[in-house]
Amino acid sequence: MLYRRRKLDLPRGELDTPVLFPVRNIGKRSSDNTPTYVGTIPEFSAAMINARSIRNRDPMWQRISNGVTLREEMDVPEDTIVFADSGGFDFANEEVDTTPAKTLDTQSQLDADILGTVDIPLSRENRAAENQRRIDQSIEYALKASDHHDGVGLLFASVHGYDPETIRNNIQYLEKNGEFDGYALGSMVPIRTDYKKITKLILSARNATDKHLHVYGLGGLVYQPLLLYLGVDSFDSSAFIRSAGNRNYLIPGFGGEEIRNIEELDRLPCPCPVCGQKELDEIREDRTALTQHNLWALATELRRFRYVAESGRDIEEYLDLRFSGNEVTKRAYETAKQQMRRLT
């Protein structure tokens, strides 16, 4: 079991890890419609943003350039910790329209605490040669970012690869040739249903570095316990927004459930501040309330794992039970457990 607790020393103070960065949609829309959570859900005092989207939203970027802070745009306290990725996920279908220096300048103007390097995601539809070109380009971008980084904010190198050897070799190469505070694994979302592959890739990264390890895009209910077990320090998720859009109700310990499948219940299976005060009919009609509940569900999943770990209970026994209801995730966890035991 590689679960670990650490602290990140950031411009706005220390951040306890492991931690989830809820993804904000600011910049993707004319205004940010992510519901309030900072100051409401104690463990969520941070956010993941897309630096490219904000820079490309002209009115918003003009306001920021004229002195309005990003946090004022987001309507959150000024001490909210921000992880600004490069917007690399957009480059899966679009041409790269930035440079490492321009992205760092954007992240600096946004006053980000953590800066992700420019990266180009892989795709299963690409030929191997094209994916290799993307891997090499992401490495080159990371090294250029290392050269340009002024040391303000932590710099995480974005790393891609569909096999453990590539992940390990890329991290070791970056460690030798650049200066990074941590690493962030990308291209995980397109293969998220291949749990075995994902666990092998993460274990390879974890074994290649003792520095901070972030995984892009896999912080939903099912993946959270696996990531924690594998020693991932942080992750991000937009699952709470997407699930609410699909009228899915997240249930800690289980996963997502369509509201229509539970509409006969008198009481919802979650006692969070949203579900404790509203009836199902109200939540069904209120997308903001459903989104807030889904965030509470992610917080609850994280709290349960921490409780098991810090109370001295057997985490593997907990995960045996946690994944017993789904054969796919159960097999992935069993694979991770076997790999882990070979390490010790």
Q: Over the stretch 53-99, which tens digit does the pLDDT of each residue have?
A: 999 999 999 999 999 999 999 989 999 999 999 988 888 778 889 99
Q: Is the pTM of this model over 0.95?
A: no
At 31, the pLDDT band (50, 70, 90 cuts) reads: low
pLDDT at 342 over 90: no
At 292, the pLDDT band (50, 70, 90 cuts) reads: very high
User: What are 272-286's pLDDT values in tens digits?
Assistant: 999 888 888 888 888
Neighbouring-strand partners of residue 14? 9
Please report, for residues 117, 139, 230, 342, the alpha-carbon distance to residue 180 in angstroms, rounded to integers and kept in the order given: 10, 12, 21, 29
Higher pLDDT: 195 or 113? It is 113
User: What are 182-207's pLDDT values in tens digits?
Assistant: 999 999 988 988 888 999 999 999 99
pLDDT at 178 over 90: yes
At 266, the pLDDT band (50, 70, 90 cuts) reads: confident
When the pLDDT of each residue in the chain is averaged and rounded to a whole number, the result is: 91
- Across the range 287-292, mean pLDDT stands at 91
CA angle 73, 182, 234 (to 5 degrees): 60
Q: What is the pLDDT of residue 30?
A: 58
> How far is it, in rounded angstroms, from Cα 296 to Cα 304?
12
pLDDT at 339 over 90: no
Q: What is the pLDDT of residue 124?
A: 85
Q: How many of the other CB atoms lie within 10 Å of CB of 99?
A: 14
pLDDT at 25 over 90: no
Cα dihedral across residues 286, 288, 291, 295: positive or negative? negative
Percent of the chain with pLDDT over 90: 62
Q: What is the pLDDT of residue 96?
A: 87
At 118, the pLDDT band (50, 70, 90 cuts) reads: very high
At 104, the pLDDT band (50, 70, 90 cuts) reads: very high
pLDDT at 270 over 90: no
Q: What is the pLDDT of residue 5?
A: 95
User: What are 130-173's pLDDT values in tens digits?
Assistant: 999 999 999 999 999 999 999 999 999 999 999 999 999 999 99
Q: What is the pLDDT of residue 180?
A: 98
